[in-house]
Amino acid sequence: MDLENLHKHYIHYITKETEKHNIDNISRTNAYEKFYIKHPDIKWSLLAGVVSRNAGWNMTDLFLPPFKTMLGKHERQQLFMTYERANWLIFSDAYPQLLIYQLSFELGKPMFQLLEEFNVSQFMINEWNRFWENRNFNRLMIALIINEQNVIQSPVIKQKYFKHRVFLGIPYLLQDFLFMNAVLLPTVGKEIYGEYVHDFTNISKRIDLGKKLAAMLFHENIYHKLLNFIKNHPHTGSRYDYEKHHNLSFPKSPWLRLVYPIITHEDDVRIDWYKIRKVKKKWLLPIRPNIREVKQSFYKKRNLLFAYHHLHRLWK
């Protein structure tokens, strides 16, 4: 097979594999985590798996009584589509990068010229080539955090529908003001670690959040406990995956595939964000780990939600 046809074969394979695993939140999470187990040098893949698990939990939360009390069906569908669209976009951009790294690893030579076929930003093409030369695992992880947050900035965060229907809506603003959302790093022990999500529409804040989570995730006191949880708990989309270990008397959120259909996404023509936005120097700076055990504070807020739901029922 000549070089041109060989490249076409690689592109076809990567396209099909990405489509196969970009079906829903479950398949994406599994793909990220399986890739990390096979290639632990690509640390971002484990971070992506953990964040994807949290996205699934946020999706199925919308079927719990307090959320059904506070939000109408249409509002809950809009929030689901926000999580789903961002989830889908990031995977469609990142998974071809992971597969092209795997191909390069197997062939023993860089194949990152193929990234152009998948509309990957020039920023990441440069970073993958840099990584191949210097093997700076942490810089690559931070670069991927920067890239994926820029990937969703225009088509999700700044897109008119999501901006006006979700990010400027009362439910989102109230949750943001009260710090109701958190990305959790669960264990099978007593602890649940994590970071609260605030000012999600601010790209620098999202990049900082990703770096904080990564620093915490790979800390020696957390990494093995979290990896043990992931290896032994297939992702269902339900918080019960970890809540069953923590003596929490909350209603079980449903399995994701029992309540949500497969969503078909339209892939708009992508503009390389790197051509319209500069990379801030502070984005590339690492963040020191700050170990945050959030189980008590997070579930205090959940208790308030359920208390509101019960009072609402009594009042009605």
From first to last of the 316 residues of the chain, give the pLDDT tens digit: 677 788 899 999 999 999 999 999 999 999 999 999 999 999 999 999 999 999 999 999 999 988 888 778 888 898 899 899 999 999 999 999 999 999 999 999 999 999 999 999 999 999 999 999 999 999 999 999 999 999 998 777 766 555 545 555 545 444 543 445 889 999 988 899 999 988 788 899 999 999 999 999 999 999 999 999 999 999 999 999 999 999 888 889 999 999 999 999 987 768 899 999 999 999 999 999 899 999 999 998 888 877 766 665 666 6
Q: How many domains does the structure of the chain reveal? A: 1
**Sign (positive or negative) of CA dihedral 127, 107, 52, 172:** positive
Q: Where are the beta strands (DSSP E) in 134-244?
A: 182-186, 192-196
Q: How far apart are CA 281 and CA 283, in angstroms?
A: 5
Q: How far apart are CA 188 and CA 233, in angstroms?
A: 10
Q: Give the pTM.
A: 0.93
The pLDDT assigned to 76 comes to 86
Contacts of 310 (CB under 8 A, 6+ apart): none
The pLDDT assigned to 159 comes to 61
Q: How far apart are CA 107 and CA 112, in angstroms?
A: 12
Q: How far apart are CA 54 and CA 182, in angstroms?
A: 8
Contacts 24+ apart (CB under 8 A), 20-25: 21/91, 21/95, 22/88, 22/91, 22/92, 22/95, 23/262, 24/256, 24/257, 24/260, 24/262, 24/263, 25/52, 25/55, 25/56, 25/59, 25/83, 25/84, 25/87, 25/235, 25/237, 25/256
The pLDDT assigned to 181 comes to 81
The pLDDT assigned to 1 comes to 62
The pLDDT assigned to 305 comes to 78
Helix axes 25-38, 44-61, angle to 10 degrees: 160
Amino acid occupying residue 206: R
Q: How far apart are CA 231 and CA 228, in angstroms?
A: 5
Counted residue by residue, the chain has a size of 316
Amino acid occupying residue 269: V
- The DSSP output letter for 9 is H
Q: How far apart are CA 92 and CA 98, in angstroms?
A: 11
Q: Which domain holds residue 145?
A: 3-315
Kindly report, residue by residue over 83-102, the tens digit of the pLDDT.
999 999 999 999 999 999 99
